[in-house]
Amino acid sequence: MKKLLLVLAGCVGPVFCSPAAQVPTPDTEKGELILTQLVSAPFPHPDRAGGHRYKDQFFDAKEHYADSTVAIFIPPGFREADRIDFVVHFHGWHNNVTNVLNRYKLIDQLVASGRNAVLVVPQGPRNAPDSFGGKLEDPEGFSRFMEEVAGTLRARSSLKKKDFTIGNIVLSGHSGGYHVMAAILDHGGLTAHVKEVWLFDALYGQTEKFLAWLDRYRGRLLDIYTEHGGTKDETENLIAVLKGRGAPFYAGPETGATPADLRKSEPIFLFSALEHDDVVDKHETFREFLETSGLERVRNTAR
């Protein structure tokens, strides 16, 4: 059986490299995982140079805001072209890249979906209760980040075609990941490339920015929410806004939605009975969103 090809790229800047050594072991015959540190990654950032206090607990900069790890995964059978599509996933509170890949099986779900896209998972606040997206919330910060991701693929991956450009982008986020996603849509610099936004129990606020993106770009919005995850009220408020406009949307229980429902172009709202931390992987919803997305298939797949 072919093994997952792992590239541990060199460290850049004032970061520590130990998280990159904790390699996830996805259930896949092959694929290429690059764990690297990027200058344009969310952290470190001046706004967290002194750390961050949440309630009565302090989270220092060295441990929680100095890790610039970014995971980049190329799925098996990836079909190279002039443009590469990306799925960029943002984690929530109290998390890190290694745990996100392992806990939510993002790589396995991408491989199972058969979609021809590169997965990118940047480290946000490391194991801290914080939704701040660091440099990716700066004006044009997401554009700089994606250009460095593309440069990393050209320089360090096994891809043969080096003159590709950035194609379509899917923004995916769980829980506190919503905050950086909203900033990216508002002033990240690549908003016209963002064709889909997936919120995994993540609509806590910044709703006007998601709505502005919908109004201007008519992208595909999928919002899965739960009873006790803290996103129900905001999601229902957005549904009410769309209803008041007479705008089309789909709303229903997660378990009742068919692939045809998920392929609809209008906003999709799915109420889930799952717990907040289960909505990404327990029903393989990340895979389902991938399979019903506008992303193309890799070669030699029946899906």
Q: Which of 206-210, 211-215, 296-300 has the lowest mean pLDDT?
A: 296-300
Assigned domain for 296 exists:
no
State whether the Cα torsion 220-95-126-3 is positive or negative.
Answer: negative
Confidence of residue 44 (pLDDT cuts 50, 70, 90): very high
Domain extent, residue 26, equals 5-200+208-217
Assigned domain for 248 exists:
no
Contacts of the segment 215-218: beta carbons below 8 A, 24+ positions apart: 217/191, 217/192, 218/265
Q: What are phi and psi of 162, to 5 degrees?
A: -100, -10
Assigned domain for 297 exists:
no
For 178-198, what is each residue's pLDDT tens digit?
999 999 999 999 999 999 999
Assigned domain for 283 exists:
no
Confidence of residue 29 (pLDDT cuts 50, 70, 90): low
Letter for the amino acid at 185?
L
H-helix or E-strand containing 32?
strand 32-37
For 12-26, what is each residue's pLDDT tens digit?
322 233 344 355 544
For 247-265, what is each residue's pLDDT tens digit?
999 999 999 999 999 998 8
Assigned domain for 243 exists:
no
Q: Tokens 């990159």 correspond to what residue?
A: 20
Assigned domain for 18 exists:
yes
The larger pLDDT score, comparing residue 29 to residue 238, is at 238
For the chain, what is the domain count?
Answer: 1
The model's pTM is 0.91
Q: Quickly count: other Cβ atoms within 10 Å of residue 159's Cβ.
A: 15
At a CB cut-off of 8 Å and minimum separation 6, what does 118 contact? 72, 73, 74, 75, 78, 84, 85, 86, 87, 153
H-helix or E-strand containing 237?
helix 232-245
How far is it, in rounded angstroms, from Cα 275 to Cα 266? 26
Q: Return the pLDDT at 115.
A: 98
Assigned domain for 222 exists:
no
